[in-house]
Structure 1
Amino acid sequence: MKNDQDRKKIQPIIRRYDFNEENYERFYDIADQSFRYGAPWTYKQYKETLGREDLVFFVAEVDGQLVGYIGGKLLLDEAEIYTIVVSKRFQKKKIARALLKRFKEECRIKGVEAIFLEVRKSNKKARSFYRKNQFDVISSRTDYYTEPGEDALVMKCRMRKKEENGKEADISDRDKL
């Protein structure tokens, strides 16, 4: 039997992370508990990364508690997602989708034409999520991940913008890759 928290529809608040919050311990804990092989970065790396104002992070909160986040870098007309994770208790509640949607909105505002990310080749769940959100595999990186060693798949999402007639136009060029 599911408890009331599981039965009610979760409405997370998605907001931009303030780099002065120094909430890296919670970021690390969520990643360490949620990723199959534990946190992909050390505690020190989270502390350093979350202090960088050149990166963009959005957090998902439920009842004032941090339950997930997405982060990456926007540079000119491209962006790269470095991490996206939702705590185990709040997975399968469309929070990752809300985080990705907010990241994409920021990319549109900044004129980004393509978003890239890497994902473990064996992570079928994440790959499926990304495919459902318009990411395509464009290449692979041999032995990209350590502990355990594994290849990464590089995925790309082409951003679209509206033409004057209101139709969406693909503003990327597939042949350039």
Structure 2
Amino acid sequence: MEIARMEAGQVSAVAALERQCFSEPWSERTLAQELENPRAAFWAASEGGRLAGYAGMHRVLDEGYIANVAVDAAFRRQGVATALLRTLLEDAQIHGLSFVTLEVREGNLAAISFYRKLGFQEVGRRKGFYTAPQEDAVLMTLFLSGNSADSAR
């Protein structure tokens, strides 16, 4: 598996993956704009030339906000999400971030368990954050002691 910065040539495949994974997917236009955003870090995982997954994060001052993590159904449970999250956390370390946070559907127990294994803690909830279906978001944060992503390894 290869992890590299998302490129313009991958936007269509990433948008298709968004449609596969999310009830309210980002558009190709939105994804393409993220490539121009200097505060964004979007990474793609490929296997045999095929997009296996992608993840993106926004950096604001010393804070990181994970926007999306998506893995193609054919590549799940093969370490793709772990490799992508570790890449985001390494990016956070390079940029001296204090913490990284994300929202996850309260009903997505597999994702919540996955994030906990990486060291994320539940720090709050956002009532009615998701639609289609309506659901609360669990807010999870990983505090980076000494600006190090070592706790995720």
Q: TM-score range by the shorter chain?
A: 0.7 to 0.9
In structure 2, what is the equivalent of residue 26 of structure 1? 13
Say whether the 8 Å CA contact 1:144–1:150 is kept in structure 2. Answer: yes
Q: Taking structure 1 as reference, are residues 73 and 162 closer, same or farther at Cα in structure 2, changes over 3 Å only?
A: closer
Unaligned runs of 5+ in 1: 1-11, 169-177
Say whether the 8 Å CA contact 2:97–2:147 is kept in structure 1. Answer: no
Say whether the 8 Å CA contact 2:11–2:32 is kept in structure 1. Answer: yes
RMSD of Structure 2 on Structure 1 (CA): 2.2
Cα deviation, residue 45, structure 1: 3.4
Q: 2: CA distance between counterparts of 1:159 and 1:45? A: 29
Q: How does 1:70-149 map to 2 (within 5 A)?
A: 70-149=55-134
The residue type equivalent to 1:121 in the other structure is E
Cα deviation, residue 22, structure 1: 4.2
In structure 2, what is the equivalent of residue 15 of structure 1? 4
Q: Taking structure 1 as reference, are residues 78 and 98 closer, same or farther at Cα in structure 2, changes over 3 Å only?
A: same
The residue type equivalent to 1:161 in the other structure is G
SS in 1 for 2:96: coil
In structure 1, what is the equivalent of residue 54 of structure 2? 69
Q: 2: CA distance between counterparts of 1:66 and 1:41? A: 16
Q: 2: CA distance between counterparts of 1:162 and 1:34? A: 31
Q: 1: CA distance between counterparts of 2:119 and 2:101? A: 11
Q: 1: CA distance between counterparts of 2:24 and 2:76? A: 16
Unaligned runs of 5+ in 2: none
In structure 2, what is the equivalent of residue 5 of structure 1? none
The yes-or-no answer on 1:46 pairing with 2:31 is: yes
- Of the structure 1 ranges 93-102 and 45-54, higher mean CA displacement relative to structure 2 is found in 45-54
Number of aligned residue pairs: give it.
150
Query: RCO greater where, 1 or 2, for CA within 8 Å and sep 6 or more?
Result: 2
The yes-or-no answer on 1:58 pairing with 2:47 is: no
TM-score normalised by structure 2 residue count: 0.87
Greater percentage in helix: 2
